A = this chain, B = another copy of it.
Amino acid sequence: MINFEALFKISYGLYIVSSGDKNKGNGFISNTVSQVTSEPAKFAACCNKNNYTSEVIQKYGAFAVSVLNIDASPGIFGTFGYRSGRDFDKMAGMNIKYGNTGVPIVLDECISFIECKVVQTVDVGTHLMFIGELVNAEILDETKEPLTYLYYRKVRKGVVPKNAPTYIDKSKLELPLKDLLFNKYQCPACGYIYDEANETVKFKDLPEDWICPVCGSDKSDFILV
């Protein structure tokens, strides 16, 4: 018997994993970055095969991991977490440093970064695991703690998109009865919650052109929480 709630006890940080070059860069929010060996220092990053960043890392053979700080804004999750870089330039307007391998490294709202050259690519099913040898690492801000997935979920009420390794279909979770009567839907970009318990209209009955009252995201982007 699998209690999917137990999976939330595994600890993760939150990162921007990026690749590309000066002409075109891309990145996505990841919580599954982990060191795999110490000599030499190598790190694994998992990326959904459908993510544009997967293609970019394969093309450039390198990636960077920027560690988000505990106060990282909803805006940075909107840019890197829930929209595809196929359609727009995620790096536009960002404070970027180009690493030893030439990949763009996002500095905004981050406390440190590591940069890795890919030495192995492992097909793990829906995702590719890129294993990279460390070539560069810097601290950007000593004053702030790293953002953790636990803090993001519990304190900031954040959710992960469907193509994240740790996404859990809510139907698999054991919910209290009141949550079966009234649902909450969350805007993935800004975190706004539409709580049916406090509204007169069920979320599904809102018009299709209804948008997030805070940031204007589409109704179809909202996620059941």
Bound state CA distance, A67 and B7, in angstroms?
A: 10
Chain B positions within 8 Å of A46 at CB level = 34, 36-37
Which of A119-149 touch B at CB < 8 Å?
A: 120, 122, 124-127, 129, 131, 134-139, 145-146, 148-149
Closest to A2 in B: B137
B137 touches A3 (CB 8 A): yes
Q: Determine the chain B residues whose CB is within 8 A of the CB of A138 once the complex forms.
A: 1, 3, 6
A37-B67 contact in complex given A10-B13, A11-B148, C-beta closer than 8 Å:
no
Cα A10 to Cα B124 with chains together (Å)? 22
How far is it, in angstroms, between the C-alpha of A148 and the C-alpha of B65 when the chains are bound?
20
> Is A57 on the interface with B (CB-CB < 8 A)?
no
By beta carbon, the residue of chain B nearest A113 is B6
Check B129–A39 contact: CB distance below 8 A.
Answer: no
Question: Contact at B126–A37, with CB atoms within 8 Å?
Answer: yes
Using a CB-CB cutoff of 8 Å, which residues 1-35 of chain A contact chain B? Answer: 1-7, 9-13, 32-35
Contacts of A41 in B (CB 8 A): 2, 4, 7
CB distance from A139 to the nearest CB of B (A): 5
- Contact status B34-A7, CB under 8 Å: no
**Across the interface, do B35 and A134 meet the contact criterion of CB distance under 8 Å?**
no
A67 and B35 form a contact (CB under 8 A): no
In whole angstroms, how far apart are the Cα atoms of A115 and B169 in the complex? Answer: 19
Check: A165 CB closer than 8 A to any chain B CB: yes
Cβ distance A195 to chain B, nearest Cβ, rounded Å: 24
Nearest neighbor of A162 in chain B, beta-carbon distance: B38
Chain B residues positioned under 8 Å from A176 (CB to CB): none
Chain B neighbourhood of A135, CB < 8 A: 2
The distance from the CB of A112 to the nearest CB of chain B, in whole angstroms, is 4
In the complex the two chains form, what is the Cα distance from A35 to B48 in whole Å? 12
